[in-house]
Amino acid sequence: MNVIKDETFNGRILDVVRQALDFVESQIKERTRLGNDGRFVTTPEYPEFAWKESIVNAIAHRDYSIKCTDIQIKMFDDRITVESPGSLPGIVRLNNLRTVHFSRNPKIAKFLHQYEYVKEFGEGVDRMFNEMENAGLPDPEYTDNAFMLNVTIRNVVINEGINDKNEVINEGIKSTLNANEQAVLKLIAAATKITKPEMKEKTSLSMSTVERTIKSLKEKGIIERVGSNKTGLWRIIK
């Protein structure tokens, strides 16, 4: 992996927030597509609230008692990952972070709220999920360990381009696939978040056959898994 840009921001919290947000905003790309009304529509690759909230949350809620490490914002072609020192605070857990709220640094959170960087007390994470869903993007992915909390947002559009993919399947790939592979690929093209149990139910194949079929499609370079098993999606790449 080649590092294209490496920026460091130091200073007062308010200055760091402004510098980080301004820099990331300058790196966000835009997409232009033809809308349903026949007009071209230009949108950013990530909802503004989602990427800003992930950065501001890291600054507001990091564990400042952990030394020798910093908040890191890593931008890739298909995702942004924000790494913040410290695990989830208080009673917040990965399975309840959309509904349970606890501020490790309430004075910092209140200060950032006064400057309108913290938009909604206790509702930011849930709104992140909603904003990503409304944009047709995968859910934010949170991982937590003893020393670092990571949040990743991805710019892989879930529903965009399905018709184009179906055309490719019909014209170029279909003849090289067996019946099971065609059936599974058709399901993925129609619903990229489909689960293996759902594939089993819709195709009447056994679970072991579904898993072998997915493995075969991966080995042929036709599909890949993007994100986690729980919140990720399938992507047709060929």
Q: Are both 115 and 168 inside the same structural domain?
A: no
Determine the residue type at 162: I
Q: Are both 123 and 177 inside the same structural domain?
A: no
Q: Are both 119 and 27 inside the same structural domain?
A: yes
> How far does CA 206 lie from the centroid of its chain?
31
CA-CA distance, 88 to 169, in Å (whole number)?
43
139-180 pLDDT, tens per residue?
A: 999 999 878 999 999 987 644 444 444 444 544 566 788 889
Give SS3 for 105. Answer: coil
Token digits for 140? 């934010």
| Cα dihedral value 233, 145, 87, 134, nearest 10 | 0
Q: Are 218 and 139 in contact (CB under 8 A)?
A: no
- Split into its structural domains, the chain has a count of 2
Residue 7 forms part of a structural domain: no
Residue 8 forms part of a structural domain: no
**Strands in 121-200 per DSSP E:** 141-144, 148-154
Q: Are both 112 and 30 inside the same structural domain?
A: yes
Query: Which of 126, 154, 182 finishes a domain?
Result: 154
Q: What is the CA radius of gyration of the chain?
A: 21
CATH code assigned at 174: 1.10.10.10
CA-CA distance, 72 to 137, in Å (whole number)?
23
CA neighbor of 60 nearest in space, from 11, 107, 126, 122? 107
Residue 213 has pLDDT above 80, yes or no: yes
Residue 2 forms part of a structural domain: no
Q: Are both 29 and 139 inside the same structural domain?
A: yes
Q: Are both 20 and 65 inside the same structural domain?
A: yes
Q: Are both 39 and 136 inside the same structural domain?
A: yes
Q: Are both 34 and 143 inside the same structural domain?
A: yes
With a pLDDT cut of 70, the percent of the chain lying above it is 86
Residue 72 forms part of a structural domain: yes
Q: Are both 140 and 52 inside the same structural domain?
A: yes
Q: Are both 145 and 175 inside the same structural domain?
A: no
Residue 4 forms part of a structural domain: no
Q: How far is CA 27 from CA 43, 53, 75, in A?
A: 14, 16, 9
pLDDT of residue 15: 95
Domain of 32 in residue numbering reads as 13-154
Query: Which of 107, 129, 154 finishes a domain?
Result: 154
CATH code assigned at 58: 3.30.565.60
pTM of this structure: 0.66
Q: Are 182 and 212 in contact (CB under 8 A)?
A: no
CA-CA distance, 132 to 135, in Å (whole number)?
5
Token digits for 181? 């592979």
63-97 pLDDT, tens per residue?
A: 999 998 999 999 998 899 999 999 998 899 999 99
Residue 100 forms part of a structural domain: yes
CA neighbor of 136 nearest in space, from 157, 114, 111? 157
Q: Are both 98 and 171 inside the same structural domain?
A: no
Determine the residue type at 64: Y
Residue 32 forms part of a structural domain: yes
Q: Are both 143 and 189 inside the same structural domain?
A: no
Determine the residue type at 73: I
28-46 pLDDT, tens per residue?
A: 998 776 555 556 678 899 9
Number of H helices, E strands in the chain: 8, 8
CA-CA distance, 65 to 50, in Å (whole number)?
26
Supply φ then ψ for residue 172, to 5 degrees: -110, -30
Query: Which of 154, 177, 209 finishes a domain?
Result: 154
**Strands in 123-203 per DSSP E:** 141-144, 148-154
Residue 3 forms part of a structural domain: no
